[in-house]
Amino acid sequence: MSRKEEKRKRREKMIEEQGLIHLDGVSKVYSAGAPALNGVTLHIKKGEFVFIVGDSGSGKSTLIKLLLRELTASNGKVWVMGHDVAKLPRRKIPKFRRNLGIVFQDFRLLKDRNVYENVAFAQRIIEVPTKEIRRNVPAILATVGLAGKYKAKPKQLSGGEQQRVALARALVNKPAILLADEPTGNLDPKNSWEIMMLLDEINAAGTTVVVVTHNREIVNAMQKRVITMKRGVIVSDEEEGEYIDED
């Protein structure tokens, strides 16, 4: 067995035992002030749908940044898909991130490119042949309900439509994990629900979905696993949980 094969098997075993995402006593201290995360331990299994809730400063965004390897933990270990992310060399980070689809509150689309180009971009970076891109992009745009708007520029779309483009971009490479950081934060209730339904469908198709949100109605209605954070610590972790107020 080659070394590469051995590593792959080890990672698969780790995912099986500890989950797709595994944090073990993770703390993150910025240069000044109190820790943003304080001894967080967490397992997220393959195929789960998890809400992470909590008020501003609870450590949700820091957690997402650690999973993306934008930051490294001050203490403890972060494992994503069997990778110890702190040990990933810089040159391997892009390849690692291709396993994670990411959706932001502010959509973060390339403003000067149209819908098709924004989604195709995710395929270009993994060097998918143009022929396949022409097949894959319309298919994913149809999944998110934007088949007819592939020529539109982001500013010609509503907030909900822009978030769908961001979703299509995050999903086109078939990531194992979808991280959504306040995906409904800039949307009206109708669009918020539509996005949540899409995320649910994506999860049903096998993708692990982690959603950071403030949206109480959605969290309470979806009946999914809810992890509540407060001042850098997990205060509750419940299957089919509810949004717990800080007060």
Partner 1 sequence: MKISTLFYTLRQGFRGIFRNKWFSLASIATITTCLFLFGVLYAVVMNFQHIVKTAQSNMSVTVFFYEDTTDARIAEIGDLIRIREEVSDVKFTSGDEAWQEVQETLFHGQAEGFPTNPLENHENYEIFLSDVAKQDSLVTWLSSIEDIRKINYSESTADALSGVNMITAYVALGLVAILLAVSVFLISNTVTIGISVRQEEINIMKYIGATDFFVRAPFVIEGMLIGAIGSTIPLVIIYYAYNKVVNYALTEFALLSNILQFLSVKEIFSVLLPVSLILGIGIGFLGSFNTVRKHLRV
Binding residues for partner 1 (CB under 8 A): 68, 70, 91, 94-98, 102, 108-110, 112, 121-122, 124-127, 129-130, 169-170, 173
Q: Considering beta carbons, is residue 202 or 226 the nearer one to partner 1?
A: 202
Nearest distance from C-beta of residue 163 to partner 1, angstroms: 14
| Distance of closest approach, residue 113 Cβ to partner 1, in angstroms | 9
Residue number, 120 or 222, with CB nearest to partner 1: 120
Q: Quick one: three-class SS letters along the chain?
A: CCHHHHHHHHHHHHHHHHCCEEEEEEEECCCCCCCCEEEEEEEECCCCEEEEECCCCCCHHHHHHHHCCCCCCCEEEEEECCEEHHHCCHHHHHHHHCCEEEEECCCCCCCCCCHHHHHHHHHHCCCCCHHHHHHHHHHHHHHCCCHHHCCCCHHHCCHHHHHHHHHHHHHCCCCCEEEEECCCCCCCHHHHHHHHHHHHHHHHCCCEEEEEECCHHHHHHHCCEEEEEECCEEEEEECCCCCCCCC
130 or 223, CB closer to partner 1? 130
- Select 102 or 146, whichever has its Cβ closest to partner 1: 102
Give the nearer residue to partner 1 in terms of CB position, either 73 or 226: 73
Q: How far is the CB of 10 from partner 1 (least distance, A)?
A: 23
Query: Least distance to partner 1 from the beta carbon of 245, Å?
Result: 31
Sheet holding 75-80, edge to edge: 37-44, 21-28, 75-80, 83-84
Minimum CB separation of residue 133 from partner 1 in Å reads 9
CB of 56 to partner 1, least distance (A): 21
Instruction: Give the CA distances from residue 156 to residues 39, 114, 150, 195, 209, in Å, rounded to whole numbers and listed in that order.
Output: 44, 9, 11, 19, 28
Least spacing, CB of residue 127 vs partner 1, in Å: 5
- Distance, in Å, from the CA atom of 231 to the CA atom of 125, rounded to the nearest integer, reads 37
Give strand pairing partners of 208.
177
Indicate the residue among 125 and 205 with the shorter CB distance to partner 1. 125
User: Is the Cβ of residue 154 or residue 160 nearer to partner 1 in the bound state?
Assistant: 154
